């Protein structure tokens, strides 16, 4: 079986994430969406809420399983039997960053291959960071996140 991991914080998930996943599904028998937990970061949404949100978004996709993990992503790939890691690329700076990570991952565990999928031009400006900022100031993020994610988003306003 060809198994892949699409890792990220998904805080929150965006339409760009969904697009990358939908375009990669046909390449693999199973795709894990891995919510990476980083104790050094303070997320907008708690891990269990992100897990619920992603499960709601991908409920109709039988090849996708949502799971959370801690530690090195390449080690988690080994644990779940994934030989591939999917990464979305929006910009040249994304590519430079992801290339460095992929090369380090390859040095650690050469059997895990990174697969880069370029975002569609209409999604290249969408990031979870920007969506979080819009949420913090009470803005409408519905055009940037999948409809299934809206009920899980916190209602915040500092402005």
From 15, 50, 119, 128, active-site residue: 128
Q: What does the pLDDT read at residue 157?
A: 43
Residue 90 annotated as catalytic: yes
- Stretches where the chain sits below pLDDT 50 are 157-159
Which is catalytic among the residues 2, 22, 41, 79?
Answer: 41
- Tell me, which fold does domain 3-152 have in CATH? Rossmann fold (3.40.50)
Model pLDDT, residue 85: 98
pLDDT score, position 156: 52
Q: Which one of the listed residues 50, 90, 119, 132 is annotated catalytic?
A: 90
Let me know: does 86 contact 55? Beta carbons within 8 Å: no
**Residue-level pLDDT at 40:** 75
Given this model, what pLDDT does residue 50 score?
95
* Bridge partners, 27 (sequence order): none
- Tell me whether residue 41 is one of the annotated catalytic residues: yes
CA distance 85 to 113: 6
Count Cβ atoms within 10 A of the Cβ of residue 20 and give its class: 0-12 exposed, 13-18 middle, 19 or more buried: buried
């Amino acid at each position: 079986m060809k198994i892949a991991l699409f890792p990220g914080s998904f805080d929150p998930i965006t339409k760009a994430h969904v697009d990358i996943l939908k375009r990669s599904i046909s390449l693999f028998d199973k795709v894990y969406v891995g919510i990476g937990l980083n104790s050094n970061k303070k997320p907008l949404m708690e891990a269990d809420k992100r897990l619920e949100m992603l499960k709601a978004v991908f409920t109709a996709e039988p090849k996708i399983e949502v799971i959370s993990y801690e530690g090195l992503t390449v080690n988690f790939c080994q644990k779940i039997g994934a030989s591939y890691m999917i990464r979305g690329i929006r910009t040249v700076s994304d590519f430079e960053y992801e290339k460095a990570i992929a090369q380090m991952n390859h040095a650690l565990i050469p059997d895990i291959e990174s697969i880069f999928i370029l975002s569609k031009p209409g999604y290249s400006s969408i990031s979870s960071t920007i969506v979080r900022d819009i949420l913090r100031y009470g803005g409408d993020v519905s055009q940037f996140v999948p409809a299934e994610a809206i009920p899980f988003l916190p209602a915040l306003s500092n402005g």
